[in-house]
């Protein structure tokens, strides 16, 4: 009699096309998962971060599948949870830019806060109707701490300072409520800033390294920024997705902070990244008041003691390595752009 083959675990990820979603997908595929992602319909392709692992779904070897849906659409969430029957759900989807949340507060609150509630309810109803166990991960943010001084851990009081952070606090407590009220295996991961070469280009770290590459090859001269004194606990996104997964492998659901426990100002990031390629940031950076926010968050630095002790999680990439990784990636990208500019296929002011 042939031994029974264990069923393949299925994961459902919102925000799969983002930085974290792409790293988590890679991680889960290596673990043998079948990965399903919810993506928003767009006239332009928005799956660039997944291209290197995408396999045509007609191929039998394809273990990553994409489905159209949105955190603003409760019926679509219900449909995909019921049809996919995931073992684990990772809610990474969000309007995740703090600055933009001041300009689009209604949308941010709906997708980030109420969107989490819609997905939790879809999972709850699925569990109730099928009797299956589904584990749920909610992506929290260090921005929830806001004005509360560091170090910040799982017991630190939240004091959000942006519509994005307020919405994340709502999502956090929706998750806690569903865990307590319905006995769901639901975890909050409170992740401090995590970056990579896949970070969106309008986030300050990537904006800096992107500009460095272009300045170095002669495509750009100036970089405009806002508050250089803001201090953040920056880690590598690839390390943090392992922590997300570890939370759902525990016997009991709980909330965890993931952080490097080391913080640096934006000015220190500028110094490290520009000097890496032999440039002086003061020759190229100008302050633009438009980039200051109505309420600033001065200092975020996490304590990951609980995650280290209970999950065995440790960040592997340190600050200098992270900066080098990002600058190297954007320098290569800028060199390719320079070829297009020199050949007349692109204007130097364009940024594809």
344 dihedral zone (left: phi>0; alpha: psi -120 to 50; beta): left
Q: What is the largest CA-CA distance in the chain?
A: 73
CA separation (Å) from 272 to 7, 205, 230, 279, 319?
47, 11, 15, 10, 9
Q: What angle do CA 342, 207, 163 make, to 5 degrees?
A: 145
Angstrom distance (rounded) from CA 350 to CA 251 = 51
CA 278 distance to own-chain centroid: 30
Q: Are 249 and 310 in contact (CB under 8 A)?
A: no
183 dihedral zone (left: phi>0; alpha: psi -120 to 50; beta): left
Non-local (6+) Cβ contacts of 148 within 8 A are 156, 157, 158, 159
Nearest to 158 by CA among 167, 169, 150, 174: 169
The label of the residue with tokens 């970089």 reads 223
Q: Are 122 and 77 in contact (CB under 8 A)?
A: yes
Kindly list the strands in the beta sheet with 88-91, ordered across the sheet, starting from the edge strand earlier in the chain.
Answer: 64-68, 34-39, 10-14, 88-91, 135-141, 185-191, 255-258
Counting every residue written for the chain, the total comes to 352
Cis check: omega of the bond before 151, within 30 degrees of 0: yes
158's tokens: 């939240």
Rg of the chain in Å (alpha carbons): 21
Positions annotated as catalytic residues are: 141, 143, 164
Angstrom distance (rounded) from CA 281 to CA 267 = 9
Non-local (6+) Cβ contacts of 5 within 8 A are none
């Amino acid at each position: 009699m042939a031994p029974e083959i264990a069923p393949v675990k299925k994961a459902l990820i919102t925000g799969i096309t983002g930085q974290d979603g792409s790293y988590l997908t890679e991680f889960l595929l290596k673990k043998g998962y079948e990965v399903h992602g919810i993506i928003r319909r767009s006239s332009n392709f928005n799956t660039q971060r997944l291209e290197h692992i995408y396999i045509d779904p007609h191929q039998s070897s394809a273990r990553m599948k994409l489905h159209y849906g949105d955190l603003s659409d409760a019926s679509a969430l219900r449909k995909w949870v019921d049809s996919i029957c995931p073992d684990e759900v990772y809610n990474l989807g969000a309007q995740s830019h703090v600055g933009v949340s001041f300009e689009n507060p209604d949308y941010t609150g709906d997708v980030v806060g109420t969107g989490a509630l819609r997905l939790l309810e879809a999972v709850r109803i699925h569990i109730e109707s099928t009797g299956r166990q589904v584990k749920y991960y909610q992506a929290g943010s260090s921005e929830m701490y806001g004005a509360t001084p560091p170090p910040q851990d799982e017991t630190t009081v939240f004091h959000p300072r942006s519509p994005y952070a307020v919405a994340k606090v709502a999502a956090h407590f929706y998750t806690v409520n569903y865990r307590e009220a319905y006995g769901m295996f639901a975890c909050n991961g409170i992740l401090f800033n995590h970056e990579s070469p896949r970070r969106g280009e309008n986030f300050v770290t990537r904006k800096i390294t992107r500009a460095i590459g272009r300045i170095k090859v002669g495509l750009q001269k100036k970089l405009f920024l806002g508050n250089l004194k803001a201090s953040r606990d920056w880690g590598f996104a690839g390390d943090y997705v392992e922590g997300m997964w570890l939370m759902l492998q525990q016997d009991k659901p709980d909330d965890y902070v993931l952080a490097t426990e080391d913080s640096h100002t934006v000015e220190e990031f500028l110094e490290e990244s520009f000097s890496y390629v032999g440039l002086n940031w003061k020759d190229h950076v100008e302050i633009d008041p438009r980039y200051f926010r109505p309420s600033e968050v001065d200092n975020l630095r996490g304590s990951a003691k609980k995650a280290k002790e209970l999950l065995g999680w440790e960040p592997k990439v340190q600050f200098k390595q992270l900066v080098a990784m990002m600058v190297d990636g954007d320098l290569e990208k800028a060199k390719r752009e320079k070829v297009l500019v020199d050949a007349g296929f692109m204007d130097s002011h364009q940024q594809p």
